[in-house]
Every structure is written in structure tokens, then in C-alpha cells.
Chains A and B, each alone.
Chain A
């Protein structure tokens, strides 16, 4: 039991997970789960207790039992005590101060990552303002590679997300080309298929691969289908670059996704066996998002931000090329409005980077959330300052298959221009060769005859 007296009121918290939940900035999902603080004062009282808690507590007290949850076992069994040593004697509050200090530079933070558990990252995030989350995250660069190198300083990569409600090849090709001529696609060209079948996934993989080879584009492809579908596609000879999977922070939530750690390992081994990577061997693409464990009724009373950080432990075990928190997709019962979405996006990006992951964010919202494009502009800009690894590129920000709003190719160009960022180096060279990127790093309008020549093969796909 944990307790704090504030003025004349004594606040008690039954256990570590109750304390973490009560300390979390207000969000609708924790209220829905019945774990949120009962008052604003109780929330700050919980933060005071948390601030005085030794970081090492998280190595001996699990929020979900070791015996019954393979994610907990992964976290504890892979913890690197030597990496943890520099902060082993700190409380959570002192850890926040150390992270903000000049002693915690990029090299120190990179060395620390294997010593940080998700619960430590989540706990310290709860004591941090948005500004702190940005200031620390921007010191951390996580570099990964497949055919392009992602995450280098001064770079911002973009996933082309060319979804179509019926997986129409010409429609998808049109959205891909729109992104390419706007300088996007260096993170991945990744399609969410409308229909969940192996032949469909294989057809889409072949479609992207043909576009990639026709224009000799240094990038990687992905069809965001279940890992078992991708395994079957590999067996049948499909051109699989990245293996995708949604992952969550509890064994039960992953079971609801139809996965466990063993099948993720199978997926990674299968992708590596194809040897399609050239620059580096990061072959996994994971997506996450606060609320997924609660949505699967598999949260064990743990708040949604802590569950989310635990998903990053799953992700980092497989050395992914990309990890994307789809922050506003889940809906207002988990993140109610633009303020809660922005906070969650910054928390996820910070926690992922602190744990050593190449974090991207799908800056997004649904039409029943209290949010609009202005909120997305704000979060996008904050994440750019925080050094986000990649963002989504959706034509006009309108995903016509998944029916939500993300960021557009235009948004990506805005962020690169505003902060002086460039695409991944291999991809930037290709853009220059194609005449899309000028020597100053600006995307230029192709002359209409050149654009027409680029688009014509896609018209033939119809």
C-alpha cells in the first residue's frame, strides 16, 4: 500500500499499478477502466508518492504477475543490470531530473535503454510535462535500416499509406505516386488491406514491389496484415520486405490479437531468411496504441499508458525498423479530445525512444473525437521538435478505407521545411535523381509532361 497526506487528506493507493494509474494525466480510457484518480488533488498526491519511489522497485514489484504474463517475463528476464547501474540508486523524481540534465546526452541515453523497463519509462513520463517529454526525446536518436536508413539526425521519414476501400490496384498506385512526387515514402510504402486474405496480401505486395522496381526506389514495402498471413505469403514466395503486426503490452491482449512472442520470432526469422534487406537488417514493423489492452479487456487494472509502454518491450525484442503508435485512432472513449491525444502522442514517443525504439506517430483522430486539423498541426509540430522518426503520409490526410484522418504528404513537407529536416539519405538521393528534390532540399513541381510520364504506367494498372 502507498499513501500520501496532502493538507488534511490522506490518499492511499492499494498497490503499484493503482499508484501509477492515479498519477496519470486524465484521459477517458482510464476513467472508463475505473482506474483514474478520483480528483485532481489525488492525482498530484499520487505523483508525490511516485516521485519518492526508488526506480529499482519496478524490478521487484510487477504490475502484472511474472508467472502469468509472458510480457512481464520478457521485461524482467531481458533487463540489463549493467546498463541500469547509472540510475539504479535514483527515485522516479530524481530520474526525471537526471533525464533533463546535460549529463543525460544522446550517448548516455542510448547506453541506458536496455536498463530501462517500460514501467520505469511510464512512471517517469507521468511526472513530466509535455515540454519535458519533448526535451528528453529529442536527445535520443534511434537509427535502423532496411533499404533506407531511418532516424538519422536532421531526417524525417514518411510512410506512404495508400489505402483504398476495395484494394483497387490503380487507386492504390495513384496514392503511392502522389506521395512519391511529394517526396514521401522513405519509411515504408505500407498498405492496410481492405480484405483480410493471403492472396490479397500477396497481390498488394507484388503491386508495391513492381512500383518500387519500375522506378528503382530505395525503400521498403509492407502489407499490414496479420503476421500469420505474412508467414503464409513468405512460404508462397511473395516479395515480403517488412513483417507487420499490431502488438500490445499484456499477454492476454496479444492473445486477443492472435499472437504471442513465439509467432513474432517466426515472422522475423522468415523475413530475414529472404535477405531482401540491403543497408540494414531491421525487418519488423509494429503498431501500437494506448487503449488496446483495455479494448481487449486484458489490462489487468493497469492504466493505458503503462500498458502501452509494455508493448514497446514486446517491440524491442525484435529489433524493428519502425514502431508506430496510432495515437488517435482508437476513439474518444480512450482519448477524448485533442489535448488527450497530444499528451498521449508525446508520452508514447518519449517512452518508445527511451526504451530504444525507432518511434513514429500516426498523428490522427476520428470524427467522433473532439479534435480537428488544428489539433493535429499542433501535435505534428511538437513531435517534429521532439525528433519523431517518421509520420504517416495519407493523400489529403483522409484515409478513405479506414475512415479516419491522419497526416498528409503536405503535412510532411511542412514539417520538414519548418524544422530543416530531410528524407532518409538513400531516398533523398533518389528524389534528387528523379528531379523531385532540388539541391536546396525543396520538393519541386514536376513539369506536366514529366509528371504525366510518371503516372501513365499506374493508369495501366486499372
Chain B
């Protein structure tokens, strides 16, 4: 049994890290409370991976946001979650019937909202993040917002190419950790087409207020990157964000 701490010797250090320190021991095992805390965090992460993407709910949340011309729902070539997890290549390709739903045009930017590895993150943060971004894009020709099921980041290349977009930003659920199951990432790619490598994208990660990056800070950074990408004609490792340093994730 753990002894009731009179004054927890770990209290000060615990404030310095989210790591699970000073848990106590029963024999060599974990006390029951931290055992169940871990299981709860893992359960939430697993649920985030396997929760189906509720695209209509995200579309409804975007309804009325300024600058959203249309919303289109597409699927990748991965038919279900199990296939998606085993076959990243399929998650990067459009299902044929979905490709047919995308009408070519000449937008400056297309936004893709993709479930990725956490629909939980997309449900919580995609609409408010995109709303904050769109509010900063006066004068840009915005393509349809594409809601993508069973999608990897690179599905944005196929979508962007099909829509004739100058650049594509993919808002995607990141792989859930125990400390955050609802973290959203954004990947920006200029001149999207299949075959682009990750080195040709700029990434913002860890968007999950209040603990992670906030919507306005993320929007500021993304829009700054979009302007820089348009001016310099590239995205990826050659394009550094010259803005203020991103706030550190809170511990």
C-alpha cells in the first residue's frame, strides 16, 4: 500500500513535467489510482484513433463562416479504419468516385479537413482553426473546403491537383498521445501534386487549446507561411517561419 503523503516530496518536481513521476509502489507494481489514470488516457487515445469522422458536424460548424464557398466530402482509397492503419499508401490516394466530385478551378488555396489519426482532434479544433484562418485571408481566392475520410497528409496533394489549387493546407488529426488525444496539425504544400515529399511541406503541430497552440496563434503562423510561400515560390525545408517563436507547449 502507498503511504498517505504528509507533504509530497515530489510536489515541486511534478510541476516541472507532465511525466508520470513519483507514482509510488505496491511491491514493484503501480498503485491502483495511477494504473487506472494510465488506462483512461490510453482509452481516450484509442477512442480518438477509432472514432468515425463526423463530417456533417464539421460542415455544420463551418456553416456561416466567412469565405467558405462550398463544402465537399471525399474518401481516400482506404475503405475502413483497419485498412487505413495498415496501408498508408491507400490513405494518400483518392477513391475514384471522390475524384469525380472535385471540379477543377484556379483557387489560390484549398483547405482540406482530414480525419488522420484523430477524428477527436478534428471535431474539436478544425472548424474554429479554419474560421480563424479564413478571417485573415481577404483577397485570396478560396477553393471548396474538402472534408476527407481515412485521409493521410498526402491526400491533400491529389485533392489540390484535382482542384487546380496553387497551394493546399491540410488540417489533420495527429497521432494521439496519452497527454493529448485531440491535437490538430496543419501541413501547407505549394503546387500540390502526388509525389510531393514531406520535405516540401511546412507543418504546424500541437494545436489543441488550452494546453497546446491556440487558434489565433496557429492562424497567424499559417497565414504568414502562406504569404511567404506565395512570395518565394516554395514550401518545405527551404521556407522558414520568420515570425515570433511559437509558444512552447505547456507542461
A residues with CB within 8 A of B: 28, 31-32, 162-166, 168, 170-175, 177-178, 182, 332-333, 336, 366-368, 372-373, 394-398, 400, 403-405, 408, 410, 413-414, 417, 443, 445, 448, 451-452, 455, 458-459, 462
Distance between Cα atoms of A163 and B3 in the complex (Å) = 28
Distance between Cα atoms of A448 and B27 in the complex (Å) = 18
CB-defined contacts of A170 to chain B, threshold 8 Å:
13, 16-17
The smallest beta-carbon distance between B136 and chain A, in angstroms, is 27
The smallest beta-carbon distance between A260 and chain B, in angstroms, is 20
B22 near A178 (CB under 8 angstroms)?
yes
CB-defined contacts of A163 to chain B, threshold 8 Å:
19
The smallest beta-carbon distance between B46 and chain A, in angstroms, is 6
CB-defined contacts of B251 to chain A, threshold 8 Å:
164-166, 168, 171
Distance between Cα atoms of A175 and B16 in the complex (Å) = 10
A395 near B16 (CB under 8 angstroms)?
no
Say whether B101 faces chain A, with CB atoms less than 8 Å apart.
no
CB-defined contacts of B41 to chain A, threshold 8 Å:
398
Stretch from B80-88, B153-161, B218-226, B236-244 at the A interface: B80-88
B38 near A400 (CB under 8 angstroms)?
no
CB-defined contacts of A443 to chain B, threshold 8 Å:
28
Known: A32-B87, A368-B49, A372-B42. A455 touches B18 (CB 8 A): no
CB-defined contacts of A32 to chain B, threshold 8 Å:
86-89
A178 near B25 (CB under 8 angstroms)?
no
B9 near A448 (CB under 8 angstroms)?
yes
Distance between Cα atoms of A408 and B175 in the complex (Å) = 21
Residues of B148-185 whose CB lies within 8 A of A: 175-179, 181
Which of A28, A162, A368, A410 contacts B117 (CB under 8 A)? A368
B249 near A166 (CB under 8 angstroms)?
yes
Known: A396-B20, A397-B38. A458 touches B178 (CB 8 A): no
B45 near A367 (CB under 8 angstroms)?
yes
B9 near A398 (CB under 8 angstroms)?
no
Known: A396-B19, A396-B21. A414 touches B28 (CB 8 A): yes
Cβ-closest chain A residue relative to B89: A32
Cβ-closest chain A residue relative to B48: A367
A396 near B38 (CB under 8 angstroms)?
yes
B49 near A168 (CB under 8 angstroms)?
no
CB-defined contacts of B89 to chain A, threshold 8 Å:
32
The smallest beta-carbon distance between A396 and chain B, in angstroms, is 2
B29 near A367 (CB under 8 angstroms)?
no
| Contacts A170-B16, A417-B27 supplied; 13 other A-B pairs, CB < 8 Å | A32-B86, A32-B88, A32-B89, A174-B13, A175-B19, A336-B86, A396-B30, A397-B38, A398-B19, A400-B19, A403-B175, A405-B178, A448-B9
Known: A165-B18, A367-B177, A398-B179. A458 touches B28 (CB 8 A): no
Distance between Cα atoms of A178 and B23 in the complex (Å) = 9
Cβ-closest chain B residue relative to A176: B21
CB-defined contacts of A368 to chain B, threshold 8 Å:
49, 85, 117, 175-176
Say whether B12 faces chain A, with CB atoms less than 8 Å apart.
yes
B20 near A395 (CB under 8 angstroms)?
yes
Query: Nearest 6 A-B pairs (CB), nearest first?
Result: A396-B20, A403-B177, A171-B17, A174-B13, A170-B16, A413-B28
CB-defined contacts of B19 to chain A, threshold 8 Å:
162-164, 171, 174-175, 178, 394-396, 398, 400
CB-defined contacts of B86 to chain A, threshold 8 Å:
28, 31-32, 332-333, 336
CB-defined contacts of A417 to chain B, threshold 8 Å:
27-28
A367 near B175 (CB under 8 angstroms)?
yes
Distance between Cα atoms of A393 and B247 in the complex (Å) = 29
By CB atoms of chain B within 10 A, which of A174, A333, A445 has the most? A174
Say whether B10 faces chain A, with CB atoms less than 8 Å apart.
yes
B residues with CB within 8 A of A: 3, 6-7, 9-10, 12-14, 16-23, 25, 27-30, 34, 38-39, 41-42, 45-46, 48-49, 85-89, 117, 175-179, 181, 248-249, 251
CB-defined contacts of A394 to chain B, threshold 8 Å:
19
Cβ-closest chain A residue relative to B41: A398
CB-defined contacts of A458 to chain B, threshold 8 Å:
13
Which of A178, A410, A459 contacts B30 (CB under 8 A)? A410
Cβ-closest chain A residue relative to B86: A28
Distance between Cα atoms of A462 and B89 in the complex (Å) = 45
Distance between Cα atoms of A451 and B22 in the complex (Å) = 11
Distance between Cα atoms of A163 and B17 in the complex (Å) = 10
CB-defined contacts of B46 to chain A, threshold 8 Å:
367
Distance between Cα atoms of A31 and B28 in the complex (Å) = 40
The smallest beta-carbon distance between A407 and chain B, in angstroms, is 12
Distance between Cα atoms of A413 and B45 in the complex (Å) = 27
The smallest beta-carbon distance between B170 and chain A, in angstroms, is 18
The smallest beta-carbon distance between B229 and chain A, in angstroms, is 23
Cβ-closest chain A residue relative to B28: A413
Known: A164-B17, A166-B251, A174-B17. A367 touches B87 (CB 8 A): no
A400 near B85 (CB under 8 angstroms)?
no
A332 near B85 (CB under 8 angstroms)?
yes
Cβ-closest chain A residue relative to B26: A410
The smallest beta-carbon distance between A445 and chain B, in angstroms, is 7
CB-defined contacts of A164 to chain B, threshold 8 Å:
17, 19, 251
Distance between Cα atoms of A174 and B8 in the complex (Å) = 14
CB-defined contacts of A171 to chain B, threshold 8 Å:
13, 16-17, 19, 251
Which of A178, A400, A413, A448 contacts B177 (CB under 8 A)? A400
Distance between Cα atoms of A170 and B48 in the complex (Å) = 31
Cβ-closest chain A residue relative to B174: A403
A175 near B85 (CB under 8 angstroms)?
no
A366 near B17 (CB under 8 angstroms)?
no
A396 near B34 (CB under 8 angstroms)?
yes
Cβ-closest chain A residue relative to B5: A448
CB-defined contacts of A174 to chain B, threshold 8 Å:
10, 13-14, 16-17, 19, 21
A400 near B87 (CB under 8 angstroms)?
no
B21 near A459 (CB under 8 angstroms)?
no
Which of A168, A177, A366, A451 contacts B175 (CB under 8 A)? A366
- Complex A-B: 11 CB contacts under 8 Å: A28-B86, A32-B88, A165-B18, A178-B21, A333-B85, A367-B45, A395-B20, A398-B41, A400-B177, A414-B29, A455-B10
